[in-house]
Amino acid sequence: MTPSWLRCNETSSCGYGRYRPNRVKHMLQNAFKKTYPPQTGLYAVKVKGGDDWKAHDACRLHISVGQPYHEGPKFAATMDWARARFKNVTVCVNDALQLGNFMFERGIDRHTAYIRAINEGGKWLERNAASLEGVDIRRWESWKTWPEYPLMLEAVLKTYAENKEFSAAIDRTAASFWDKRERLNPAYTPDRKDHFFELSKEYLLEEVAIICRMIDQQRAIDLYPGTMLPVFDLMKGHDLPYAPKELGQRDFARIDFLKRNIG
């Protein structure tokens, strides 16, 4: 039997005051609205934009090893926030993805840079072990051991070769990396720009392929305190026969931090 307060029309009071249909709808929404525990740490996590994270029960947190927002109180706040909102939390330690940065900035060969990147990832895991209880942890190289990865990378490379919009988006992103670093670091001299561009393009295409692999394994929302690669937004809704279908299926939300006034 329908409760009397739900049967109220615009002119009836039913003992609850005068209810309009939109007020009843609002009350129903509030009645079923999920509540979360308060954020009590030094920082509170805020979602700044992107897709609807509430539509997902799983998330992937992407870690840029060495960045301050993935250390200490900010990372602890991120983990507390995610655990309270998702049934499954995967921490993606994207350590080996950084080997191109080590090669360029330190002037070392690929193998040495790879070892350095892996070691930095291991140190990060040790430093942040207290915040990683009860979550799935995936390091970058683990995604490349899947049999499907070479085919995924091949499809991404073909998309770069065949689709002008895709290749232009990758090239613009690589150029933006250079522009930002050139302003901040005198070591980024014009004679090294072509080398940097090739390393950045390799980095970006590998990142796209592995994120497609992640999406293929599990539909989840990707969370990061920064913007999503523009190429994923660009490819939403595209159906290219040679491109990975996951390329246009990424769900992403940008998070940020608000320092709480404690005591």
Residue-wise pLDDT tens digits, 156-195: 999 999 999 999 999 999 999 999 999 888 889 999 999 9
Q: Please tell me the total count of domains within the chain.
A: 2
Question: 247 and 117 in one domain?
Answer: yes
Question: 46 and 12 in one domain?
Answer: no
> Taking 50 as the threshold, does the pLDDT of residue 4 lie above it?
no
- Percent helix / strand / coil, the chain, rounded to 5: 55, 15, 30
Where does the chain show beta strands of DSSP type E?
43-50, 58-63, 88-93, 136-139, 221-224, 251-259
What pLDDT does 150 receive?
95
Could you tell me the pLDDT band of residue 20, with boundaries at 50, 70 and 90?
A: low
Q: By mean pLDDT, which of 48-52, 86-90, 239-243 is the weakest?
A: 239-243
Question: 4 and 77 in one domain?
Answer: no
Question: 58 and 8 in one domain?
Answer: no
> Taking 60 as the threshold, does the pLDDT of residue 19 lie above it?
no
| CATH number of the domain that residue 49 is part of | 3.40.50.11710
Question: 52 and 29 in one domain?
Answer: no
Question: 220 and 196 in one domain?
Answer: yes
Question: 217 and 151 in one domain?
Answer: yes
58-63 and 136-139 strand pairing: unpaired
Question: 67 and 6 in one domain?
Answer: no
Question: 141 and 19 in one domain?
Answer: no
Q: Residue 49: which domain range? A: 38-259
Question: 125 and 4 in one domain?
Answer: no
**Which pLDDT tens digit goes with each residue over 29-73?**
454 567 888 898 899 999 999 999 999 999 999 999 999 999 999
Question: 119 and 174 in one domain?
Answer: yes
∠ at Cα 240 (144, 222), nearest 5°? 45
